[in-house]
Amino acid sequence: MTKPNKKKSALREWGDALLFAVIAASLIRWLFLEPFTIPTASMEKSLLVGDFLFVSKMHYGTRTPKTILQVPLTHQKIWGTELSSYSSAIELPYFRLPGFSKIKRNDVVVFNFPTEFEHPVDLKTNYIKRAVGVPGDVLEIKDTQLFINGSEAENPPQMQFSYDVLTSRPLSVDFFDSYDINPDSFYPFSDNSGYLVFTTRENAEKLKSAPGVTTVRIRLEKEGAGRADVFPDGSFFKWNKDNYGPIEIPTEGWTIELNPENVMKYAFTIEKYERHKNLKIDGNDIYLDGQKLDTYTFRQNYYFMMGDNRHDSLDSRYWGFVPEDHVVGKAWFLWLSLDKHKNMFNKIRWNRFFNPIR
């Protein structure tokens, strides 16, 4: 005689349902799609602060987890606390499943912020930028215009720069809103003579004939005015955010001569991302396992990422290349967009719902 199955308690049924939901959500997030929110203005006007989007893990191939001792559905911290959500006691080697495509030039890509070395690769903060340069490209910027392999690159249709907008009187929030410039994109000068404005070239031209505006001029860093905060050493190469390069983006299998110039350009990348245990840099010399290297062959592909808001973006011009093992996925489509500057009735940007990301 068979024993009848004991009916589960309501608490047990809820527990089982919750466990299934966590497992299912974790698998979907790892294998297929992950939600992402735009936190800064670095990609405006292509992507806006308050945009909610899905990142496809499938396009470039899903990364297998590196940090496996982690609270499910968390990133760096346990929700609502400052407690770490993971342990790096066990870390697996990098591996990526086959994807639909490789990263193409001008793809909008989500990746782990490379120089955040206090976290494992897969738990570094997620960033989103445009892949303006792919492995093997020679990249250069001349007076804000990007060049790839000697030819002018395609510019994002709503690319932004910073402008000095001089005025004869104070301008209101509504004035700037009529030019599609939100309150986080303009700042009054301390002497009340005008505003620093981040906007598109088309808007800048319109502002020139706006009432109360006397002068509109782009903020341009001149050629030869090197900046120490520009990668790899803008003060040495005389590079800045508007005049940069040329520099070749490393590709897997590319061999370079380790002369002083190449060491200056690529030593940081080799040391930090090429996964060598016994590598040492001493001035213009690189040593591996105690042996001085005359040449070096790269072990993975790299990418050059830039924001469409070119004068308000912390990107590869400042911290260098993005290694392939840091790539999270392709920014795919928007599913919600909220404007924090609007009231409850106008907060939702209905026209952005389910827009593909280009």
358 residues of the chain, pLDDT tens digit each: 555 666 667 777 676 666 666 676 667 777 788 999 999 999 999 999 999 999 999 999 999 989 999 988 888 999 889 999 999 999 999 999 999 999 999 999 999 999 999 999 999 999 999 999 999 999 999 999 999 999 999 999 999 999 999 999 999 999 999 999 999 999 999 999 999 999 999 999 999 999 999 999 999 999 999 999 999 999 999 999 999 999 999 999 999 999 999 999 999 999 999 999 999 999 999 999 999 999 999 999 999 999 999 999 999 999 999 999 999 999 999 999 999 998 878 899 999 999 999 9
d(CA 67, CA 223): 44
- What is the structure's pLDDT at 140? 98
- What is the structure's pLDDT at 97? 93
Residue 169 · residue 318 · CB < 8 Å: no
Residues 6+ apart with CB under 8 A from 171: 195, 212, 213
| Complete domains list, the chain, with CATH | 31-124+305-358 (2.10.109.10), 160-218 (3.30.70.260)
d(CA 298, CA 256): 8
Residue 232 · residue 239 · CB < 8 Å: no
Long-range CB contact pairs, 334-342, < 8 A, 24+: 334/51, 334/52, 334/53, 335/35, 335/52, 335/53, 335/54, 336/51, 336/52, 337/48, 337/50, 337/51, 337/52, 338/50, 338/52, 339/48, 339/50, 339/182, 340/49, 340/50, 341/182, 341/183, 341/184
Q: What is the pTM of this model?
A: 0.92
